């Protein structure tokens, strides 16, 4: 039985290490990266769902007559016929300058 030469053993060992890396390490690394990305995507999806639910609740609230009236009075200062609207205006400030 013939023994392999030293360079042949080194080449065979190198080939086995590279085959191991391709068979186990690289796919495992890719799988872990994909899981991490999937978890990030799930977290983002959950956040977007919560935001969507919040916006849907707000849209439903804005459809009510009470909310429409409140916004009309606050933002646009609208009143019903027969009501009087008052605005409080701050007193005008007088600025004085002194000559040097």
Give the CA angle between residues 43, 48, 51 to the nearest 5°.
Answer: 130
Out of 9-23, 41-55, 86-100, which region has the weakest mean confidence (pLDDT)? 86-100
Look up the domain containing 11 and give its range: 6-76
Q: Is residue 39 part of a domain?
A: yes
- DSSP string for 14-82: HHHHHHHIIIIIHHHHHHHHHHHHHHHHHHHHHHHHHHHHHHHHHHHHHTSHHHHHHHHHHHH----TT
What's the mean pLDDT in 8-37? 86
Q: How many CA atoms lie within 13 A of 40 on its CB side?
A: 6
Q: Is residue 98 part of a domain?
A: no
Q: Is residue 29 part of a domain?
A: yes
CB of 77 closer than 8 Å to CB of 83: no
What's the mean pLDDT in 5-28? 85
Q: Is residue 93 part of a domain?
A: no
List CB contacts of 60: < 8 A, sequence separation 6 or more. none
The model's pTM is: 0.52
Q: Is residue 53 part of a domain?
A: yes
Q: What is the pLDDT of residues 46-89, one digit of tens each?
A: 999 999 999 999 999 999 999 999 999 999 989 999 998 888 88
**Number of domains within the chain:** 1
Q: Is residue 37 part of a domain?
A: yes
Q: Is residue 96 part of a domain?
A: no
Q: Is residue 83 part of a domain?
A: no
């Amino acid at each position: 039985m013939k023994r392999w030469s030293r360079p042949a053993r080194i080449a065979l060992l190198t080939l086995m290490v590279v085959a191991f890396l391709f068979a186990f390490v690289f796919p495992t690394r890719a799988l872990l990266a994909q899981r991490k990305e999937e978890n990030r995507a799930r977290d983002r999806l959950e956040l977007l769902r919560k935001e969507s639910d919040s916006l849907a609740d707000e849209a439903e609230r804005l459809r009510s007559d009470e909310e429409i009236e409140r916004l009309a009075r606050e933002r646009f200062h609208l009143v019903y016929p027969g009501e009087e609207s008052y605005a409080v205006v701050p007193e005008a400030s007088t600025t004085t300058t002194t000559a040097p």
